[in-house]
Structure 1
Amino acid sequence: WIHRFGEIMIVQMPEEMSLIPADEDGKFPYLMQFMDGNRIDLTLVPFDLINKFVGQDSLSKLLLDKDNCIVEFPPASDRGYLIKKPTEKEFLDCCNEFWWCSTNVAKGLWREELSYAKGILDGPVRDMFIVMLEWHIGMKTDFTVNAGKFGKLFEQYIEKDMWEQFKRTYSNAEYEDIWESFFAMGDMFRKVANGFANAYGYQYPQSDDDRVTSYLKHVKALTKDSTSIY
């Protein structure tokens, strides 16, 4: 029956997948990409569970309720996507995750384990980097904007010189270039995090930064025939 919406390119039904665990919360989504470029994410929900899901996405808009089964439907807005100011604990957790995982990037680069090093760098390390940049944007805008998924709107909100530095955190598959982009990310994280900490009276973990950064530089300088770190 979904073919009545148009010629289908590909469909995903998350609740029927085994590789990626299903939510199993009562709803059944059809994610449909059509050949004409349109996309529909259609979610079917049992009648008695409808109001459980109302309001979960603040951008939702009620188009039709023939049976008056929706108890209350808030006006659509991006309120659920606005950058939220972190507590000091959340700020410190972000810093800790960034620098902790950075040690694994260095290990992977020295061993020339490309996919491992890039996986950690562009996974948990970059995730925290993105979060810190979101907070920077939140600080500048009084936490009234949405920077988009994976920071897709960063260019719109961060300073021009910062955007140029941000681009330097992406590299190709050459180890020396990855090291360079890795250190560029660390430099930028440090600058942004310190600025945020100063603005809100938080304490940036400078000693962690110093020790880890020194370690990263030491690992980079190790010869390939080294049998121990020190």
Structure 2
Amino acid sequence: MRSEQEMMSMLIGFAENDSRIRLVTLEGSRTNKHIPRDPFQDFDISYFVTDMNSFKENDDWLHIFGKRAMMQKPEAMELFPPELGNWFSYIILFEDGNKLDLTLIPMDEVQSYFAQSDGLVKVLLDKDTLVTTEIVATDRNYWIQKPTARQFDDCCNEFWNVSTYVVKGLARNEILFAIDHLNGIARPNLLRMMTWQIGSERGYTFSVGKNYKFINHYLPKKDWEALLSTFAQHGCQEMWQSLFTCYELFRKYAKTVAGNLEYVYPDYDEAVTRYTASIYSSLK
């Protein structure tokens, strides 16, 4: 596998020698000083170009970056509608294992790019001195946010309301329906509440990472293992247990947040829990 230095030298060198590319930036985890380096990090690179069509007309110019194992061009796909507007991206896995997410951006969108940046951006090359203020990469936009009382109640409401759909799916033996609601809505709100509890006790000056990937660093071992157990969904009985464990964890963390922030924990927890228990008992 080519080293980070080799990859960066190649990507910047190509831009230096191509007059169509005027500005190059790096985004994502490789700009974040709080993320440990590893070989699985993508190279998230943006080229700001004067002539988009000359790049898009064929892919031959990409060969210089190395042999590709696979490439995706999201903005050229029909099944998945494009989301980047006038931008055009290439997601490339090279045979040596390196991963490149390369985005072409028209020159007239430089200002909007920086205006909508999430903060994790570093300027690598600026041929025309377009960036006149210092850009310092920061993950501040991903720090835990203190919830308002309304946000706290909304999270509780969404968790307990969607849980009834999980119950309905299990009662009907529609396990994919139940899994979708637990995985897609209920558990993400549990993770949100856990993060709020962490912030309420440790401060709101850090991130637990994309997809909550570092949350285990802040949870008691017992709770972390309980959370992992909720992903056991091989059958309806396992799903019921996962749901019950989610109930216990949500109740514990939400009540702690309510106590720390002097918010009111809703009483519909008891009503939904009784409803769930009655349905579960009727199936035995």
TM over 0.5: yes
Number of the residue aligned with 1:30: 90
Q: Which residue of 115, 121, 145 corresponds with 1:60? A: 121
Identity, in percent, stands at: 39
Structure 2 residue identity aligned to 1:59: L
In structure 2, list runs of 5 or more residues that go unmatched: 1-60
Query: What is the rounded CA distance, in whole Å, between the counterparts of 1:136 and 1:19 in structure 2?
Result: 40
1:7 aligns with 2:67: yes
Q: Which residue of 12, 34, 41 corresponds with 2:101? A: 41
Query: What is the rounded CA distance, in whole Å, between the counterparts of 1:49 and 1:112 in structure 2?
Result: 51
Q: Is the 8 A contact 2:143 2:206 kept in 1?
A: yes
Q: Is the 8 A contact 1:54 1:73 kept in 2?
A: no
- Counting only pairs closer than 5 Å after superposition, residues 32-111 of structure 1 correspond to structure 2 as 32-54=92-114, 56-111=117-172
1:209 aligns with 2:269: yes
Q: CA deviation at 1:19?
A: 2.6
* Deviations 1:86-112 (CA, angstroms, capped at 9, x unpaired): 111111111111111100100111111
Query: What is the rounded CA distance, in whole Å, between the counterparts of 1:137 and 1:17 in structure 2?
Result: 40
Q: Which residue of 110, 113, 116 corresponds with 2:174? A: 113
2:123 aligned counterpart, secondary structure: coil
TM, length-normalised to structure 2: 0.74
Number of the residue aligned with 1:177: 238
Q: Which residue of 126, 132, 136 corresponds with 2:197? A: 136
Identify, as 1 or 2, the structure richer in strand.
2
Q: Is the 8 A contact 1:8 1:34 kept in 2?
A: yes
Number of the residue aligned with 2:56: none
Query: What is the rounded CA distance, in whole Å, between the counterparts of 1:98 and 1:109 in structure 2?
Result: 17
Query: What is the rounded CA distance, in whole Å, between the counterparts of 2:171 and 2:80 in structure 1?
Result: 32
- The structure number with the bigger radius of gyration is 2
TM, length-normalised to structure 1: 0.91
Number of the residue aligned with 1:227: none
